[in-house]
Amino acid sequence: MDTDPVFSENPRLKSITEQINNSPKDASLYFERGGLLHKLKLDTLAIKDYKKAATIDTTQAKYYSAVGDLLFEHKDINGSIEWIQKAIAKDPTDQKAHLKIAKLFLYLKNYPQAFAEINIVMRKNVYDPEAYFLKGMIYKDMKDTAKAISSFETAKQVAPDYRDAIIQLGLLFSAKKDPIALNYLDDAYKMDSSDVFPLFAKGVYYQNAKDYTSAKEIYRKCILRNTHYIDAYFNMGYIYMQQDSVEKSFRQYDIITKLDPLNPTAYFNRGLCNEMMNKPKDAVADYRQARGLDTAYKSPKEALKRLGVQ
C-alpha cells in the first residue's frame, strides 16, 4: 500500500492511488500514475511507478520506453539506452523507440548507430518526418550543412507543419547569411507565437548583419511578448555597447540581474558598464558578485585584478 503523503495531496493522485491499493497488480494504473507524477514534476516517483508497471506486465514496451524517456530527461544516458533497448526487445517494430534511441546515440555523438536506428524506421516508413528530422540533426552536428538542409527540407515536405524542422532551416540559412532564413523563422513564429525563439533568431540574423536598428526592433518585440526572455536583453545590451550607449547597455544588464539574480554573466556585463561609466566601486561589487556565483568564471577575476582588488 502506498502511504507517501504526496499521493493524498492531489485529488487525481489520491483517486488513482486508491485504485492501485485496491488493485495492486494492475500495471496500467501504475503507468497512469507515473504519467501524472511526471506532469507534477515528481519524476523520482514517476520513474518508480513506470518501473513497477514494467515489473508487473513485462509485455508492454511502452512501460520500458517511459522509464528510458525520463532517465534521458535527467541526463542518465546509459540508463536511458538500457531501458529503451528493453522496449525495442519487447517490440522490435516500435518505430518511436528506434527514433528515441537514435536521439540518444546522437547525444553521445555515435553517428553510425544513430543512422542505423533511423534506417530501421525508414525501411518500414520512408515518409517518417521525424526520421528525416533526426538525420538533419546528425548532419548538423557533423557540420555537413548541405545534407542537414536537405534532410530538414524533406521533413518539411513530408509534414509541412513540422515546426522544429522549419526552425532548423531558419537557423542554418541564417548561419549562411541567406535572407530566406527570415521566411522560415516567420513561418515558425506564426505557427506558435507563444514561443518567441524564432523571433529572437530573426534578431540574431539582423545583428550578425550589423543591422542593429532592425535587430533592436525585433528584440523589443521578443521582450513585449515574453518579458523574461533573457537572451533578448543580453543581445540588446551588446548592441548598445557597440553603439557606445553604455548607460542603455547598463539598463539591459540591470534588468537581467532582477529577472535572473543568479546569472553571473549579467553581473559581469553590468560591471563592465559601471567600469566604463567610471563607477569603480559599483564595478567591483558586480565583478565580485559574478565571481561568487561562478567560481570558475575567469572574466570577473581578471577584471578585479585589472582594478587592483580581490
pTM across the whole model:
0.84
More confident residue, 231 or 14: 231
pLDDT given at position 310: 80
- What pLDDT, on the 0 to 100 scale, is given for residue 156? 98
The mean predicted confidence, pLDDT, of the chain is 95
Contacts 24+ apart (CB under 8 A), 103-110: 103/72, 103/134, 104/72, 104/77, 104/80, 106/134, 106/137, 106/138, 106/141, 107/72, 107/77, 108/77, 109/141
What are 128-154's pLDDT values in tens digits? 999 999 999 999 999 999 999 999 999
Q: Summarize pLDDT for 56-79 with one digit per residue, the tens.
A: 999 999 999 999 999 999 989 999
Residue 5 — pLDDT band, cuts 50, 70, 90?
A: confident
Judged against a pLDDT cut of 90, whether residue 8 lies above it is answered with no
pLDDT per residue as tens digits for the range 155-212: 999 999 999 999 999 999 999 999 999 999 999 999 999 999 999 999 999 999 999 9
**pLDDT for 39:** 92
For residue 17, the model assigns a pLDDT of: 92
Alpha-carbon gap, residue 181 to 111, rounded angstroms: 27
Predicted confidence band of residue 1 (pLDDT cuts 50, 70, 90)? low
Could you tell me which of 266, 200, 273 has the C-alpha nearest to residue 240? 273
Q: Which of 245, 247, 246, 222 is nearest to 233 (CA)?
A: 222
Q: Report pLDDT digits (tens) over 71-107.
A: 999 989 999 999 999 999 999 988 989 999 999 999 9
Confidence of residue 2 (pLDDT cuts 50, 70, 90): low
The predicted structure's pLDDT at residue 20: 93
Three-class HEC string of 106-134:
HHCCCHHHHHHHHHHHHHHCCCCHHHHHH
User: Does residue 3 have a pLDDT over 80?
Assistant: no
Q: Distance of CA 5 to CAs 10, 13, 17, 294, Å?
A: 10, 10, 11, 37
What does the pLDDT look like over 279-289, one tens digit per residue?
999 999 999 99
For residue 237, is pLDDT > 70? yes
Determine the 3-state secondary structure of 13 from DSSP: helix
**H-helix segments, the chain:** 6-9, 11-22, 27-39, 43-56, 61-73, 77-90, 95-107, 111-124, 129-141, 145-158, 163-175, 180-191, 197-208, 212-225, 230-242, 246-259, 264-276, 280-293, 298-306
Residue 4 pLDDT exceeds 90: no
